[in-house]
Each structure stands twice: as structure tokens, then as C-alpha cells.
Amino acid sequence: MAGTSMRYFEARGLTVNYDRVRAIADVNLAFDEGQVASLIGANGAGKSTTLRAITGLVPLAGGEVWFDGARIDQLPAPRRVEIGVAMVPEGRRVFPQMSVRDNLLMGAYARKDRGAIASDLERILVRFPRLKERLRQGAGTLSGGEQEMLVIGRALMSKPRLLLLDEPSLGLAPLVVRDIARLIIEVNRDEGMSIVLVEQNSRMALRVSQYGYVLETGRVALEGPSDNLLNDPKVKELYLGG
Amino acid sequence: MEQILVNGAILSANYALIALGITLIFGIMNVLNFAHGQMFMIGGLIVYTVCVVFKLPYAVGLLAAAVIVGLIGMLLERTLFQRVMRISSREENTMLLAVGTALLLENIALYVFGEKQRGIPPMVSGVYRLGSAFLPANRLLVFAISLALIAAVLLFVNFTRQGRAMRALAQDRTATMLMGVDVNRISMLGFGLGAALAGIAGGLLISVSGVNAGIGTAISTKAFIMIMIGGAGVIGGALLGAVALGFAEAIGYALFPGSVTYLLIFTALILFLLIRPQGIMGKPWG
Ligand SMILES: Nc1ncnc2c1ncn2[C@@H]1O[C@H](COP(=O)(O)OP(=O)(O)OP(=O)(O)O)[C@@H](O)[C@H]1O
Ligand SMILES: [Mg+2]
């Protein structure tokens, strides 16, 4: 791509099939370092599939993923974690029979700088005091909000440069959703971390992010600065409840 | 009475190695390893070969049993189980595959070693007295080695990075992949470790009661009984099942003629499963 300047993250023409049924087609995403980009859309629009394609959980039928100047879509999934792409999956997926501490340590599995893990654990527990109180407890016994904190903390333990969050607000009470939103803003601000936020809670996602994408049946139907999308009549009607 | 306790403890420790091995494989891969008893048997016959045929020290034999059976497990996992799990979504297929590998291993062993019961001379001689109970030094050594290995496995699984990854993989494959774990590699390691434990258990038991090429199915059956009692895929359950079976056997053999013991154990097991099908520590779901 000589001549054109490349963005920090670019997904170009992402296409994914499940058993020959197309889930997403020609999805293009691009944002700069330290940005929060949101991905909104209805059930089955292809939001999770887009994230899975970026992390390598599903194979691409077409397209490329570029991160910090390197093409990553041909790397095996574990390598992508090593170079700093972490994902918090839909439905949280803590390791329920493991302690909170072991869940967090699993997050650091792929790190090369093992000496720094202990101090990072301390640092993360300062951000999540609730987890610190429950360090020895089984993760399956935590409340939904605590589990969401745990999986975000677990992802942070990998020291990511790009954090992908799949519906962190799913099934949480409004007050807890506010905590999560504040957390995302803080992580982005304090660590300068780039974030892709997938949400059905479109209002929250567009408030937290600087740039937004609207997916419809596997394609990007609309994109733009989040403030513009928040005021877009079509977005308002379809995704923000009128 | 004291003799029963001593015998029960020694059996329990040996059985715990078997139960831990089959539990690791079941927990991580969701494969019920029908070939576990055959791996045990091969471990015993390797020790026989190294110690009796090649006249090398017992420690070498035990190490060879662990390494060779472990490698056999890894090879089976990589070439057979991983592939079948990838291309088939029905769980019974891996079960049938495991039955097939059991038959394969048994027939290879029959071909190589013949049908004869094989034993090795005790590594240490002498008998201790514990109250009214007799404790041969050789059995005490087997017991000590078993306990040390159980402790080592528990430390590994609970406190090391790879052990943690094995536990994670047993709970959520996708989430484990998202941690940057090469899940195929960890599966292979887990299968290898489970197999190695079976091999070591066989290598220990051959110095106590001998091993023959046809013993596998009986051992697998014991392994299944233990995880049925304790709860499949739960490490604590495996240990509990081993203690329950070890002592049931020791008590049974002291009180009843030989074959009655297992008749009673099976009857009790079935009644128990009617009440608690998931085992003592197992989860009723999933
Ligand atoms: N494992 C799968 N096998 C087959 N089809 C799938 C699979 N996962 C998703 N799909 C299909 O792919 C399409 C996109 O699904 P995806 O999960 O990416 O949507 P989503 O936007 O994340 O939806 P939601 O908001 O419900 O999480 C849907 O039509 C869905 O039915
Ligand atoms: Mg989704």
C-alpha cells in the first residue's frame, strides 16, 4: 500500500461464512491508535462474527486485517493475543470453576514478560476493588456485573494494545451498565488503549466511542463520528428507540 | 483391621494415579479413555522389559514407562483423537475411537509380550509391622512413590501456567483460545500426562501383583468405577473415588471370597448411581 497512509487498525473487506452461509460480507473498519470504535446493529447483524474474524476464531473467506502496520489475518489465533489483540467474548465466559485470581492469571498466559505479571495483577486489582475482595472465590459465584469486570480485567492482564469487547452490557442492570461504560472510558483514557466496542445498547456505545459503525445483515450500512450517528434520524429511529 | 487399613491405603494411592490420569483426559478433551487400562498394562510390561529383560534399575523402568506411554498418548491424541474431534460433532465417535485404540494396544501387547503374567522381583525387601498389620517394604515404597506423584500432579495442575491452561481448557475452549493458549498443544500435553500416569501406575503395580497383556479392561473398569463414584472430570472426585474403591476392595477381600467383593461393589455402585448419577462431587448438568 505504498503512498496511502495506513491507519493503526484496518479491516478490509472482511467476509466470513458459516458452512457456506455468509455471515458478514465486505466489512471495512479503520481507526487510529487510542480511539474507541463502536459496532452496533440488530441481532444476527454480524457484530460478533466481525470480532471473531479479527481474533482468528473463525477463518476468513475474504479480506485482510492490519494492525499497527502488520498484516495479522494469517497469524494463528494465539499469536494475535501475543502481539496485543485481546477479546472479551459475548456472554462473559469466565472460567467458572477457577478462582478470580486464576482467571486473571489466565489472562496473562501469552505474555513474554512474566516477571511483570504480579505487579500488573496488583495494578488491575486497584482498578477493580470488588475483584480484590473476591480473589479466592470461584468465578462462577460472582454476579453478572462482577463477572463482566473480571473478564475485562482478565483481558487487561494480557497487556493488550487493542481490546475487543463483545456486548459487555448484556443482561446487566442500568446502574452496572453505567459502571462498565465508565470503566471503558477510563481504560481508554488512562492506558491510551484502542478499543472496539460491540453493543446492542447503541446509546451507551455511541456515547463511549469516537467513531461508530452500523451493521445490517452482515454489511456496514452506515458509519461516521459517533456524535453524528447519535443525531442521525435513521439511527435514532432504528437503534436509539426513536 | 489394621491390615485392612494398610492395604486400603496402598491400593487407594495406586488407584488415585489411574483415576487422576483418566480424569485429566476426560476433563480436558471430553474423551472417556477406554484405553486407559491398556496404557496401564503397557506401562507394567515396559517396566518388566527394562528391569527383567534388560536388567536395568527399577527407576529406569518406571521412567521409561512414564515417557513411552506418555508419548503413545500424545501420538494417539495428535493423530486420531484431534482429527476425529475436528471432523465429527458426535461425542460417541471419540468414545468408539477410544474403544478401538484399547483393542489395538491390547493386541499389540499380546503380540509383543504374549499372554503370560509378568512380574518383577521386589525393589526392596523386608517387612515392617504396624500394630498388628504387616507392611512389606516394597509396598511402602510403591505407596510413597504414588503419594509423591499425586502431590506433584496436584501442584502442577493447580499452580503452574500450563496446569492452569489445562483447567481452563476443561471449562471453556473458546475462552481458553482467547487467552492465547494453543489449545491443540495443551490437549496433547494433557492426554500425554494422563497416559503417563496410567503407565506409571502399571509400572508400580507390576512390582506388587504382576501384570499381563489382558489386564487392561479390568483396570479401565476400575477407573470408570472411581470416576462414577467421585464425579467425572473433577480432580477431587477422582481422588475420592480412588479412596472409596481402594478401601472397598481391601475390606471386601478381607471378609469375602474373591469374586464376591466385586459383585458387591458393582451392586452398591448401581444403587448409588440411582440416587446420585453425577457422583459425589460431579455436577448434575453438562
Ligand atoms: N457458529 C455459527 N454457525 C452458523 N451460523 C452462525 C454461527 N454464529 C453466527 N451465525 C450466524 O451468522 C450471522 C451473524 O451472527 P453474529 O453472531 O455475528 O451476529 P451478532 O451481530 O453478534 O448478533 P447478536 O447481537 O445476537 O450477538 C447470524 O445470521 C447468525 O445466525
Ligand atoms: Mg453477538
What is the rounded CA–CA span in Å between residue A53 and residue A86? 13
**pLDDT score of A1 more than 60:** no
- What is the 3-state secondary structure of chain B? CHHHHHHHHHHHHHHHHHHHHHHHHHHHHCCCCCCHHHHHHHHHHHHHHHHHHCCCCHHHHHHHHHHHHHHHHHHHHHHHHHHHHHHCCCHHHHHHHHHHHHHHHHHHHHHHHCCCCECCCCCCCCEEEECCEEEEHHHHHHHHHHHHHHHHHHHHHHHCHHHHHHHHHHHCHHHHHHCCCCHHHHHHHHHHHHHHHHHHHHHHHHHHHCECCCCHHHHHHHHHHHHHHHCCCCHHHHHHHHHHHHHHHHHHHHHCCHHHHHHHHHHHHHHHHHHCCCCCCCCCCC
Q: Please report the pLDDT score of residue B283 as a whole number.
A: 73
**pLDDT score of A3 more than 60:** no
- What is the 3-state secondary structure of A153-187? HHHHCCCCCEEEEECCCCCCCHHHHHHHHHHHHHH
Closest by Cβ to B174, choosing from A79, A93, A94: A93
Give CA angle at A12 (A9, A18), nearest 5°: 115
CA of A43 to the centre of ligand 1 (A): 8
What is the rounded CA–CA span in Å between residue B190 and residue B150? 15
What is the rounded CA–CA span in Å between residue B70 and residue B93? 23
Average pLDDT over residues B51-61: 96
What is the rounded CA–CA span in Å between residue B164 and residue A105? 9
**Is B177–A89 a contact, with Cβ atoms under 8 angstroms apart?**
no
Mutate to test the pocket of ligand 1, among A19, A39, A49, A54 (most ligand atoms within 8 A of CB): A49
What is the rounded CA–CA span in Å between residue A217 and residue A234? 16
**pLDDT score of B285 more than 50:** yes
Q: Which residues contact B108 (CB under 8 A, 6 or more apart)?
A: none
Smallest Cα distance from A91 to chain B, Å: 11
Q: CB atoms < 10 A from the CB of B165, how many?
A: 23
Q: Which residues contact A183 (CB under 8 A, 6 or more apart)?
A: A127, A149, A152
Here the ipTM equals 0.94
CA of A53 to the centre of ligand 2 (A): 12
Q: Is the dihedral of CA B32, B12, A96, A112 positive or negative?
A: negative
The bound ligand whose nearest atom lies closest to the alpha carbon of A47 is: 1
List pLDDT tens digits, range A21-63: 999 999 999 999 999 999 999 999 999 999 999 999 999 999 9
Q: Is A199 helix (H, G, I), strand (E, B) or coil?
A: strand
Mutate to test the pocket of ligand 1, among A48, A198, A215 (most ligand atoms within 8 A of CB): A48
Residue in chain A nearest B167 by alpha carbon:
A98
Q: Please report the pLDDT score of residue B257 as a whole number.
A: 85
Q: Which residues contact B199 (CB under 8 A, 6 or more apart)?
A: B39, B40, B42, B43, B46, B65, B66, B68, B69, B70
**Is A76–B182 a contact, with Cβ atoms under 8 angstroms apart?**
yes
Cβ–Cβ < 8 Å for B97, B30: no
Asked if A154 is an interface residue toward chain B (Cβ–Cβ < 8 A), one would say yes
Cβ–Cβ < 8 Å for B79, B190: no
CA of A129 to the centre of ligand 2 (A): 29
List pLDDT tens digits, range A159-199: 999 999 999 999 999 999 999 999 999 999 999 999 999 99
**Is A106–B168 a contact, with Cβ atoms under 8 angstroms apart?**
yes
Give B286's pLDDT tier (boundaries 50, 70, 90): very low
List pLDDT tens digits, range B242-277: 999 999 999 999 999 878 999 999 999 999 999 998
Which among B29, B32, B128, B34 has a CA at the least distance from the CA of B85?
A: B29
